Structure 1
Amino acid sequence: MMITIRDVAEKAQTSIATVSRVLNNLGGYSEQKKIEVLKAVDELGYESNAIARSMIVKKTNTIGVVFPNISSMLTYEFLNGIEDVTYKNNFNVIVSYTYSQPERMMKALRMLYEKRVDGIIFTSDVVNDEYLKYFEKIDIPVVFLSTKSDNSSIPYVKVNDFNAAYDATEYLIRNGHNTIGMISGNPEDPIAGFPRLEGYKSALKKANLPIEENLIRYGYDFNFEDGKNKFRELVDTNPDMTAIFAASDEMASGAITAAHQMDIEIPNQISIMGFDNTMIAEIAYPALTTLAQPLRKMGSEAVKLLLKNIDGEKFENEVILPHSIKERQSVKKIN
């Protein structure tokens, strides 16, 4: 039998209004009455109807998060940061995976709107005009995480991908490497592909090193298989290459695996630099030196930004978090 608020009121010998005020922490009752109501709630096993309450207060204490990839280590790190903040603020999270497919993305966004989420975190995907029009139509708070749109004022949290890639390449140069390959993302990706590629090229140019297209290979999903395949291509065509900058840790891990299969010692024969500092960087062998994004903090900051928006507080439209170099064992210093 379903226990109702009326049952709680009868057991606590008070009114339904008083029970409601106690449960919603609204005041207007004695401490003794509060104890009696909470005792009745506990003994009866009463659970308040969140749906009914949300219809009254126009708030569900739920946010939606859309990710392009379920298996990505980025997803794991971002979600940990998101959960850190939502848990402390009594919010629930609905997660949807879109595999970077526009049709699946629109379906996910419509589902979240139908669930009456209070806000949405849109993560690590290119923001097209169709998405922007839908965000404008539904008129609920949205925050971009690890992406942005130059055609929108929607707030975002990310690192500066150009500067981060520049610093990763410059680190290899400082360690004595002059012939540096790159396993890049899709150069038509304006969020991470193009900026990281341009950061690599800019660091070479600043050091008066030639930018050779033969030293660049392009992947499309920043994934392990891209890293394996493109490493083999780079090694086969560039015998003088001493280092590779991979545009993600998963790519770098794929490159290390290919190197083991080809009996190439990392870093004695070729150094490898990653990008992200996900868990995979620590478990790779040798452990991966990488450009570290503060991934968990990025997830946390995105939620904080969203909650301020939901509550009508002032918030920043742009949050750029600092990156760093995480040194491990995959880069060799050349005298």
Structure 2
Amino acid sequence: MATSIKDVAKEAGVSIATVSRVLNDIDVVNEDTKKKVLDAINKLGYRPNIVARSLKTQRTKTIGILVPDISSGFYPEIVRGAEDVSNIYDYNVILCNSDFDDEKEKEYLRVLREKMVDGVIYMSSSLQPEILDLINELNIKTVLVETKDKEERLPSVTIDNIKASEEITNYLINKGRRKIAFVGAKKESLNAWVDRFIGYEKALKDNGLELDEDLIFTKGLKVKSGYDAVEHFENSKKPYDAVVCASDELAVGVINALRERGKKVPEEVSVVGFNNNEIAELFYPKITTIKQPSYDMGSVAMRMLIKLLNKKGLEQSQFVLDYELIERESAK
């Protein structure tokens, strides 16, 4: 027979109301009594009924984390940072993977609302207006990670993606590269990936270099898209001596395709990535890339969300963390 809150109260020698106050972290219980209750909970192996408790408190101590691609080397580290903080504050986590699918994102938001999550850490493949409207309609406390909405209605944790992409493109230009291609996301998408195109475009313009539409490939975000991009560039018959990739996975695909065509990296074509996933350091040649503080992005976002859930003000709602350009062998 399962242990009940009544059993805990009897074991601790206190009232059921006192046990409830301890479980809900209400400060009126003194430390000695609180210890008795916690000892009784541990001894009896009591687990609160989350559903019953949520009906009373209107809170489930559960947070949804929505990621666009859990197989990526980037997002799991964000999730780890968020989960480590959630554990400190005794929150549970529900993880959802949207596969870069807007409709799937919307469905997961509805499911998380039905599960009565207290809030959501949201890494979106696209912040389309209907997504933002749905978040507002469902009335879910939400913190964005990696990207932010244009009106900055929702709190966010990002880096300056435009500046970072501009810096790594300028890095190539300063190495003498002049025909620079780009592989990334569709220009109409509303997310961090597109900011990386904007930074690339700005660097070319500021250096008086031509933006060639034949050297832009935006048909996916995984390794195969990087591979396909090289076929597209080769078919265009346009010369190129460098490729800016919006992720390290794309860079891996580009380098593999160049290698198959007998083109040397970086001697003939320099390649740079973004995110500094583990693969960037393990792949050959090691990939020059932008390092995002992924673990910190997750932990900062979770702390922000928990503050919001506890009705505490945020010192700032739009956190922009530092990034770093990591020089390796793919772009000498």
Normalised TM-score (structure 2): 0.89
In structure 2, distance between residues paired with 1:203 and 1:282: 26
Q: CA deviation at 1:198?
A: 2.6
SS in 2 for 1:182: strand
Find the counterpart in structure 1 of residue 260 from structure 2.
261
In structure 1, distance between residues paired with 2:201 and 2:23: 59
In structure 2, distance between residues paired with 1:194 and 1:183: 11
Change (3 A) 1:265 1:298: same
CA RMSD of aligned residues (A): 2.4
In structure 2, distance between residues paired with 1:35 and 1:82: 28
In structure 2, distance between residues paired with 1:78 and 1:36: 37
Find the counterpart in structure 2 of residue 229 from structure 1.
228
- Tell whether the 8 Å contact from 2:82 to 2:302 is kept in structure 1 after alignment: yes
SS in 1 for 2:329: coil
Find the counterpart in structure 2 of residue 276 from structure 1.
275
In structure 2, distance between residues paired with 1:100 and 1:36: 49
Alpha-carbon deviations, 1:29-84, whole Å to 9, x = none?
573x5555444333322222233233333222111122222322232122122112
Find the counterpart in structure 2 of residue 201 from structure 1.
201
Find the counterpart in structure 2 of residue 108 from structure 1.
108
Change (3 A) 1:130 1:11: same
Q: In the TM superposition, what are the counterparts of 1:75-94 in structure 2 within 5 Å?
A: 75-94=75-94
Q: CA deviation at 1:207?
A: 2.0
Normalised TM-score (structure 1): 0.89
Q: CA deviation at 1:210?
A: 2.8
Find the counterpart in structure 1 of residue 219 from structure 2.
220
In structure 1, distance between residues paired with 2:35 and 2:212: 74
Of 176-185 and 278-287, more deviation after overlay is shown by 176-185
Q: CA deviation at 1:185?
A: 2.1
> One-letter code of the match for 2:43?
E
> One-letter code of the match for 1:305?
M
In structure 1, distance between residues paired with 2:224 and 2:280: 16
Find the counterpart in structure 2 of residue 309 from structure 1.
308
In structure 2, distance between residues paired with 1:114 and 1:30: 36
- Tell whether the 8 Å contact from 1:183 to 1:217 is kept in structure 2 after alignment: yes
Find the counterpart in structure 1 of residue 74 from structure 2.
74
- Tell whether the 8 Å contact from 1:163 to 1:199 is kept in structure 2 after alignment: yes
Alpha-carbon deviations, 1:303-331, whole Å to 9, x = none?
12212221222222322222220111111
Change (3 A) 1:308 1:179: same
SS in 2 for 1:252: helix
Find the counterpart in structure 2 of residue 150 from structure 1.
150
SS in 2 for 1:330: helix
Q: CA deviation at 1:119?
A: 0.8
In structure 1, distance between residues paired with 2:71 and 2:120: 21
Change (3 A) 1:118 1:21: closer
> One-letter code of the match for 1:282?
E
Q: CA deviation at 1:176?
A: 2.3
In structure 2, distance between residues paired with 1:89 and 1:23: 13
Q: Does 1:131 align with 2:137?
A: no
Change (3 A) 1:60 1:189: same
Alpha-carbon deviations, 1:84-116, whole Å to 9, x = none?
221222111111122233332222111111111
SS in 2 for 1:63: strand
- Tell whether the 8 Å contact from 2:146 to 2:159 is kept in structure 1 after alignment: yes
Change (3 A) 1:225 1:3: same
In structure 1, distance between residues paired with 2:256 and 2:137: 47
In structure 2, distance between residues paired with 1:22 and 1:78: 31
Q: Does 1:52 align with 2:66?
A: no
In structure 1, distance between residues paired with 2:29 and 2:228: 68
SS in 1 for 2:209: coil
Find the counterpart in structure 1 of residue 96 from structure 2.
96
Of 35-44 and 240-249, more deviation after overlay is shown by 35-44
- Tell whether the 8 Å contact from 2:127 to 2:191 is kept in structure 1 after alignment: no
SS in 2 for 1:325: strand
In structure 1, distance between residues paired with 2:153 and 2:35: 48
Find the counterpart in structure 2 of residue 9 from structure 1.
9
SS in 2 for 1:256: helix
> One-letter code of the match for 1:11?
E
- Tell whether the 8 Å contact from 2:184 to 2:220 is kept in structure 1 after alignment: no
In structure 1, distance between residues paired with 2:31 and 2:162: 59
Q: CA deviation at 1:124?
A: 2.9
Q: CA deviation at 1:167?
A: 0.6
In structure 2, distance between residues paired with 1:140 and 1:156: 15
Q: State percent identity of aligned pairs.
A: 35
In structure 2, distance between residues paired with 1:29 and 1:213: 68
Q: Does 1:299 align with 2:298?
A: yes
> One-letter code of the match for 2:272?
M
